[in-house]
């Protein structure tokens, strides 16, 4: 059972984000970078499948040299090999194409990745890679059953208001949702081994942009202070509150 896990290095959600002068990127000095949290569920699931059925776990990322820290985290968790495709892009299709190009040249049974990255939240890479490779896919998965002998896969997907089971045959792609498992912490021996492991680096193969361009970034508007209704009886206060919600907050 050979599994490839697509991972992305993202800013820690606790990091204070500052925009660079261009308004099209962030100031990266002082940013704490981590493995995308949803990708940790994908790594853990791949490790569990290897423990149950044998095989290997490879982690693959697209990014600059600093992204190797994310790969080493995955190696410390127990992944066997790591590959970094050297390149950066804000276009999801370009990123998915670069990943799919590498995957076409390397055999695998299953691709796992997080349902989305917490930096851009576009949730497009997994489905795009599956489409480019003409693979069946199951997204937002919270439970997974794989039988390598019969190549049968059953996946429990989270949908609005409930869950649905889907089935397909390997090879295929699954995107992981919180609840699929509990990611393990890297062990000290695993961390030491990961430091010594070689990470393969390959050049990115990007297609031309297809009309997707990052025009700019902006921070949310600062929140204004709350309003307190004073010197009103209960009925008048209720009427004024309804008026404010309807005319100013636009929620009624």
Distance CA 248, CA 10 (A): 36
Kindly write down the DSSP assignment for every residue of 177-227, as one continuous string: -TTS--PPPPPHHHHHHHHHS--EEEE--PPPP-S-------PPPPPPPP-
Is the model more confident about 229 or about 50?
Answer: 50
Whether the predicted pLDDT of 30 surpasses 90: no
Kindly list the domain boundaries of the chain, sorted by start residue: 2-203, 223-252
> What is each CA distance from 104 to 111, 133, 163, 164, in whole angstroms?
12, 7, 32, 30
Q: What is the CATH number of domain 2-203?
A: 3.40.50.620
Mean pLDDT of the chain: 93
pLDDT tens per residue across span 8-22: 999 998 888 888 888
Most confident segment among 1-15, 22-36, 221-235: 1-15
Which residues pair with residue 3 across a beta bridge? 57, 110
Q: Are 103 and 165 in contact (CB under 8 A)?
A: no
Mean pLDDT of 110-137: 96
Whether the predicted pLDDT of 36 surpasses 90: yes
pLDDT-based confidence at 28, cuts 50/70/90?
confident
Is the model more confident about 243 or about 110?
Answer: 110
pLDDT tens per residue across span 185-231: 999 999 999 999 999 999 998 887 666 677 888 888 887 777 888 88
Whether the predicted pLDDT of 182 surpasses 70: yes
What is the 8-class DSSP label of residue 171? S
pLDDT tens per residue across span 151-171: 999 999 999 999 999 999 999
Amino acid 216: pLDDT: 85
> What is each CA distance from 160 to 143, 155, 186, in whole angstroms?
16, 16, 33
Mean pLDDT of 106-124: 95
pLDDT tens per residue across span 128-153: 999 999 999 999 999 999 999 999 99
Torsions phi, psi of 70, nearest 5?
-65, -40
């Amino acid at each position: 059972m050979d599994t490839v896990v697509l991972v992305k290095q993202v800013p820690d959600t606790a990091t204070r984000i500052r925009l660079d002068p261009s308004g099209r990127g962030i100031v990266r000095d002082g940013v704490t970078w981590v493995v995308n949290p949803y990708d940790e569920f994908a790594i853990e699931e791949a490790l569990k499948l290897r423990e149950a059925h044998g095989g290997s776990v490879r982690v693959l990322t697209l990014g600059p040299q600093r992204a190797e820290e994310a790969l080493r985290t995955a190696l410390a968790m127990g992944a066997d090999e790591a590959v970094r495709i050297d390149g950066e892009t804000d276009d999801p299709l370009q990123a998915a194409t670069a990943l799919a190009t590498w995957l076409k040249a390397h055999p695998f049974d299953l691709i796992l990745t997080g349902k989305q990255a917490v930096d851009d939240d576009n949730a497009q890479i997994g489905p795009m890679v599956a489409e480019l490779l003409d693979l069946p896919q199951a997204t937002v998965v919270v439970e997974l059953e794989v039988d390598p002998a019969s190549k049968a896969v059953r996946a429990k997907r989270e949908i609005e208001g409930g869950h649905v089971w889907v089935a397909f045959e390997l090879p295929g792609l699954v995107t992981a949702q919180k609840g699929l498992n509990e990611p393990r912490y890297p062990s000290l021996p695993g961390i030491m081994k990961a430091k010594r492991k070689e990470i393969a680096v390959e050049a990115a193969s990007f297609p031309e942009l297809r009309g997707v361009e990052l025009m700019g970034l902006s921070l949310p508007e600062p929140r204004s202070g709350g309003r307190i209704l004073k010197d009103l009886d209960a009925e008048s206060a209720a009427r004024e509150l309804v008026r404010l919600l309807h005319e100013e907050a636009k929620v009624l």
